[in-house]
Amino acid sequence: MAEGKSFFVDTTKCTACRGCQIACKQWNQRIAEKTSSRGSHQNPPDLSYSTWKLVRFSEVPGEKVNWYFFPDQCRHCVSPPCKEVADGKAKGAVIHDEKTGAVIFSPKVKIKLEDFKEIREACPYDIPRIHSATGIIGKCTMCIDRIKEGMLPACVKACPTATMNFGDRKAVLEMANKRLSEVKGVYKDAMLANPDDVRVIFLLADDPKKYHKFAVAENIIGITRKMALKRILRPLRNFQMIG
Ligand code: SF4
Ligand code: SF4
């Protein structure tokens, strides 16, 4: 089993206060983005080079309207497909920290736009973003500068409801499985999202698609070769870039 660190994100406790989103911006000195009212409480509309943590809001009509909150971020995959693709394009662009398991894009390595598209397509969670003018990739770093000093990641420290948790992987997996069995009595479809493959383990109370299109990887096993290649060969998604 992979060691290192992990997050547990218990979405059953999330109030969508966005404290985590703001704390991430503040600690990592990411600039604010101009936003507008779009008929949703989710703002900005998507992750970007400047926004590494985004609380997604999804409104699902039923007998009553249901809100699903999803504090999205890089999952710090145990075997990161982004690194596998990046290694063949720009060596050193992605660093996989051995001790913590954090997956970090180097701000010193510039990536060509066409290469970046392949890296983003390889990510099962649609996470990396690029500054198109500089060719630098931006995404969650696990707050590795904080955790190396014994501090919690900024989003975890700021969360007032214990939705965001962080620690040694074994303890985090135990916490996640314990909480899953607790909530099963209330939410029969509750599940952990790809717990064996990622270091940011989400507990979801309902169908993952109700939270976010990329909440769960449909098949992360073998994605580094077969699926990444398939994705590279199919038409690329539209990308939102800043710069
Ligand atoms: S979630 Fe995406 S960007 Fe993050 S480590 Fe996994 S493949 Fe890379
Ligand atoms: S700080 Fe915690 S409760 Fe607030 S939006 Fe983030 S995860 Fe949810």
Report helix, strand or coil for 117. helix
CB 176 within 8 A of CB 152: no
Task: Report the atom number in ligand 2 closest to the C-alpha of 55.
Answer: 5
Report pLDDT for 238. 38
Report pLDDT for 94. 96
Give the helix ranges, DSSP H, for the chain.
19-28, 81-87, 113-122, 144-147, 154-158, 169-183, 208-211, 228-233
- How close is the Cα of 61 to the center of ligand 1, in Å? 31
Is residue 237 classed exposed, middle or buried when 0-12, 13-18 and 19+ CB atoms within 10 A define those classes?
exposed
CB 212 within 8 A of CB 94: no
Q: How far apart are CA 51 and CA 56, in angstroms?
A: 12
Report whether residue 17 contacts ligand 2, using a CB cutoff of 6 Å.
Answer: yes
Report pLDDT for 39. 87
pTM: 0.90
Report pLDDT for 218. 77
State how far the alpha carbon of 190 is from the alpha carbons of 24, 58, 90, 164, 176, in Å.
27, 17, 40, 17, 12
Contacts of 19 (CB under 8 A, 6+ apart): 158, 159, 160
From 13, 20, 56, 140, give the residue whose CB has the most ligand 2 atoms within 8 Å, as the site to mutate: 20
Positions in the chain short of pLDDT 50 = 221-243
Report pLDDT for 101. 98
DSSP letter string, 84-110: HHHHTTSTTSEEE-TTT--EEE-TT--
